[in-house]
Amino acid sequence: MLEIFYSTGIRLSEMNKIDLDHIDHNEKNIRILGKGSKYRLVLFGEKCEASIRNYIKYSRNKSNSRNLSNALFLNKYGSRLSVRSIQRIVKKYMLISGIKNNLHTHSLRHTFATHLIEGGADIKVVQDLLGHESPSTTQIYTHTSAKHTKEAYFRFHPKAKMNVK
């Protein structure tokens, strides 16, 4: 779950709605039902792909139920995990991973957006991946570090490049 949240930037409510047939393993994308009942595609890389496959192979089908839901994440009864259960699981594994701050699933969404922007992604691309209607909403999620801001200034501003006093 942590890998999917970080790799895709999806919302908690979107994670809860992922079904097995929403995942395209060949194209490495997930069809997400987002806000406003609109679908969008989110992308994922090799590490996330391996995590999803391992979860499906080793963990997903451990339910005692014969009638498994089509949901990606299941509870012990074979039904879709609740939003609250996903929150508890994520919090547990964040603590196990050594993340002691009071972080939530939405923190991974912020990190996803920030890393894309700091890596040079266009704000419009990030907006589309996050499923935002407006670029101004996306800007809220992009916390650039002081170091990144300084590097960008000295790299791109014409007066900063010159040795002018």
What CATH number is associated with residue 156?
A: 1.10.443.10
Between 163 and 124, the higher pLDDT residue: 124
> What is the Cα–Cα distance from 64 to 77, expressed in whole angstroms?
6
pLDDT of 162 strictly over 60: no
Active site residue 157: no
Per the residue annotation, which of 6, 11, 22, 80 is the catalytic one? Answer: 11
Which pLDDT value is given to residue 72? 95
Per the residue annotation, which of 35, 47, 53, 124 is the catalytic one? Answer: 35
Which pLDDT value is given to residue 120? 85
Backbone torsion region of residue 98, taken as left when φ is above 0, otherwise alpha when ψ lies between -120 and 50, otherwise beta? left
Per the residue annotation, which of 6, 22, 80, 132 is the catalytic one? Answer: 132
Instruction: For residue 17, report the phi and psi dihedrals to the nearest 5 degrees.
Output: -100, 0
Give the orientation angle of helix 83-96 with respect to helix 105-118, to 10 degrees.
Answer: 70
Per the structure, the complete domain to which residue 126 belongs is given by: 2-161
> What is the Cα–Cα distance from 121 to 162, expressed in whole angstroms?
26
Active site residue 148: no
Pairing of β 23-24 and β 29-33 = antiparallel
Which pLDDT value is given to residue 164? 42
Active site residue 88: no
- Counting the structural domains of the chain, the total is 1
Which pLDDT value is given to residue 102? 72
pLDDT band for position 143 (cuts 50, 70, 90)? low
pLDDT tens per residue across span 13-29: 999 999 999 999 999 99
Per the residue annotation, which of 25, 84, 106, 150 is the catalytic one? Answer: 106
Active site residue 132: yes
Residue-averaged pLDDT of the chain: 87
pLDDT band for position 37 (cuts 50, 70, 90)? confident
